[in-house]
Structure 1
Amino acid sequence: MTEATRGLLLALFCFSTWGSFPIFFSLLTHIPPTEVLVHRVVWSFIFVALILLFSKQWRRAVAALKNPKLVFALLSSSLLIAINWGVYIWAVGQNRAVDASLGYFINPIVAVGLGVIFLKESLASYQKLAILIASAGVLYKILGVGEFPWIALTLAVSFGFYGLVRKQAQVDTFTGLALETLLLLPLSLLYWGWLTYSGEQHFAINSDGLLLICSGVLTAIPLMAFSAAARRLSLTAIGFLTYLTPTLQLLSAVFVLGEPFDKGDFVTFALIWLALIVFSGGAIRERQKLPQSA
């Protein structure tokens, strides 16, 4: 098996796992979203910490904790990812996984916009057109359907800012997740303790407990696969495969969970998909020019 084939299989596993999240979190809708979030943080930390310990990479995490600027950056990213996770879990519980999938379709374009605003990056003509088309999709949702897509925008913006912060934090993806969950751990444990004291917690040695543990494991394992795939595949391949996640989330929401997908949704998604086609096509053409100009 070639390295490229191995990278492709790892990427498919990663994005397919993330794409199945609506189905997985639908199994936990009888548990309050905040409690599910707490367990996702706790078990993610435990699993990642064990990986770092057994792989003898824990020294990188200790070194990172000695850097105040890096800790502050990771504290910011940990709060952003907690918002992202919490809103997504809540959305699935409210039968709004279709709206949540829209957020991850919008995210690449939001990320470009944040790069322009905060990193002073310039926009190519195809990027401007893609942002304009995506904005039309959001505007149609507001004016045509009469609904502000706050779930999609919250997920897209929180993950966009998360990427912006992590882009400037000098730490690898896996160590970063370990430190982010570590920073969220004290508050998570306090909340878990309060739930236990008040008799409202759902964790036990049963199917619920196993699913809550899996919420952490399913956070860490795909991330490991993504890191390994990114080392073996081109940015173009990774960029295209990234859209597999929201596509599978949308299909899962409509065909497995039975959420509605009406004409208004179709128009909004069609405009977002058109924006992504323009965005991806322009990016490919730009990359194809690089070797020629070099």
Structure 2
Amino acid sequence: MSDTSRGMAAMIGATVIWGLSSLYYKLLAHVPPLEVLAHRTLWSLVFFGVVLGLRGRLGELVRLLARPRSLALVTLAALAISVNWFMFIYSIQTGHAVEASLGYYIFPLVAVLLGMVVFGERLTRLKWLAVLLAVLAVGVLTLGLGVAPWISLGLAFTFGIYGVVKKLQVAGPTVSVTAEVVVLAPLALIWLWGVHMQGWTGVVGRNLGAFGQSWHDSLLLMFSGVLTAMPLMLFTTASRSLPMGTVGVMQYINPTLQFVIASTIFLEPVTRWHWIAFPLIWGAVAVYSVETLRQDRAARRLAASVGTSGTTAM
């Protein structure tokens, strides 16, 4: 199998796992989201710790956390991704999976805006058009439903901020994500201690302390670490083998699967306002994807011509 084929397979695997993960977290709908989040954090740490240990890279983790600037970036990334994870789990458990899918459609366009604000990146006219279509879609939902799609916006912006922070980090994805869950682990342990030992009650008023009550719930909570780690590792493989434009466009497999599951399996209502907003989003996605692929091909042609010129000059 060629590197490109391997990268395509890895990217499809990652996005399909992400897209189907709503089915998994729906099985844990009776467990409060903060408890699910705590277990997801701790079991992710276990999984990544084993992976780094087997690869002999635990020293990289220690060095990353020992540098004050790196620790600050890791902490900021950890806060952003933990809020994102919580909002996704909450949305699935409370019947807002359609909004979650919208958030992951909007995310790349939010990332474009954050790139312009933080890194001074320039937007082409077509990318501006994509952003404006997304803003129009959000406006339609806000006016039609009488409330802004806060879950969608929260998911998009927290993941966008997470991406900005990751771009500032020098560590590889596996090491940096492990560092993030290391930072979050004490909070997760404190919450689970309160749940099991102090009888803390959740904001949704459900019984807490699911782990250990049944083998079914316990295994699901433990496997959430694998469910978090595996697609990230597949995504890393894809990113190394495929042009970034291709990677960006293929990410839309995730929210598409989420939307299909939310509307056909969870039977969440899709109002007429959603049917106006989603085509606008899909139009924005199409414009963004075409422009991203065009820019990616242009960059590769430029790199190839520079390489040829350099070889000729030698």
Q: Per the shorter chain, which TM-score range?
A: over 0.9
3-state SS, counterpart of residue 144 of structure 1? helix
Read off the aligned partner of 1:201 and give its amino acid letter.
Answer: G
Cα-to-partner distance string for 1:128-171 (whole Å, 9 max, x where unaligned):
11111111000001113322100000000000000001110111
Alignment partners' CA distance in 2, 1:280 and 1:211: 36
Q: Does 2:49 match 1:40?
A: no
Equivalent pairs: percent with the same residue? 35
Question: Structure 1 length normalisation: TM-score?
Answer: 0.97
When structure 1 is superposed on structure 2, of 279-288 and 209-218 the one drifting more is 279-288
Within 5 A, what are the aligned runs for 1:20-169?
20-169=20-169
Query: Which residue number corresponds to residue 310 of structure 2?
Result: none
Asked if the contact 2:246–2:293 (Cα under 8 Å) also holds between the matched residues in 1, the reply is: no
Alignment partners' CA distance in 2, 1:181 and 1:36: 14
When structure 1 is superposed on structure 2, of 101-110 and 112-121 the one drifting more is 112-121
- Of residues 287, 294, 301, the one that matches 1:278 is 287
Cα-to-partner distance string for 1:72-118 (whole Å, 9 max, x where unaligned):
00000000001000011111111100000100000000001111112
Asked if the contact 2:38–2:191 (Cα under 8 Å) also holds between the matched residues in 1, the reply is: yes
Cα-to-partner distance string for 1:156-207 (whole Å, 9 max, x where unaligned):
0000000001110111111111000000001110111111113531101510
Read off the aligned partner of 1:231 and give its amino acid letter.
Answer: R
Query: Which residue number corresponds to residue 267 of structure 1?
Result: 276
* Structure 1 unpaired stretches of 5+: none
1:288 to partner: Cα distance: 3.0
Query: Which residue number corresponds to residue 202 of structure 1?
Result: 210
- Of residues 190, 209, 217, the one that matches 2:226 is 217
Query: Which residue number corresponds to residue 178 of structure 2?
Result: 178
When structure 1 is superposed on structure 2, of 20-29 and 197-206 the one drifting more is 197-206
Read off the aligned partner of 1:265 and give its amino acid letter.
Answer: H
1:291 to partner: Cα distance: 4.9
Alignment partners' CA distance in 1, 2:104 and 2:237: 22
Alignment partners' CA distance in 2, 1:170 and 1:291: 24
1:287 to partner: Cα distance: 2.8
Query: Which residue number corresponds to residue 236 of structure 1?
Result: 245
1:289 to partner: Cα distance: 3.0
Cα-to-partner distance string for 1:220-252 (whole Å, 9 max, x where unaligned):
011111111211122222122100001011111
3-state SS, counterpart of residue 31 of structure 1? coil
* Structure 2 unpaired stretches of 5+: 200-207, 306-314
3-state SS, counterpart of residue 22 of structure 1? helix
Read off the aligned partner of 1:119 and give its amino acid letter.
Answer: F
Alignment partners' CA distance in 2, 1:287 and 1:11: 17
When structure 1 is superposed on structure 2, of 205-214 and 28-37 the one drifting more is 205-214
Read off the aligned partner of 2:74 and give its amino acid letter.
Answer: L
Aligned-residue CA RMSD in angstroms? Answer: 1.2
Read off the aligned partner of 1:60 and give its amino acid letter.
Answer: E
Read off the aligned partner of 2:116 and give its amino acid letter.
Answer: V
Read off the aligned partner of 1:178 and give its amino acid letter.
Answer: T
Query: Which residue number corresponds to residue 13 of structure 1?
Result: 13
Query: Which residue number corresponds to residue 245 of structure 1?
Result: 254
Question: Structure 2 length normalisation: TM-score?
Answer: 0.91
Read off the aligned partner of 1:234 and give its amino acid letter.
Answer: P
Query: Which residue number corresponds to residue 204 of structure 2?
Result: none
3-state SS, counterpart of residue 20 of structure 1? helix
Change over 3 Å in CA distance of 1:291–1:213 after alignment to 2: closer
When structure 1 is superposed on structure 2, of 159-168 and 3-12 the one drifting more is 3-12
Alignment partners' CA distance in 2, 1:185 and 1:218: 17
Cα-to-partner distance string for 1:54-84 (whole Å, 9 max, x where unaligned):
1111111111112110000000000000100
Alignment partners' CA distance in 2, 1:290 and 1:63: 35
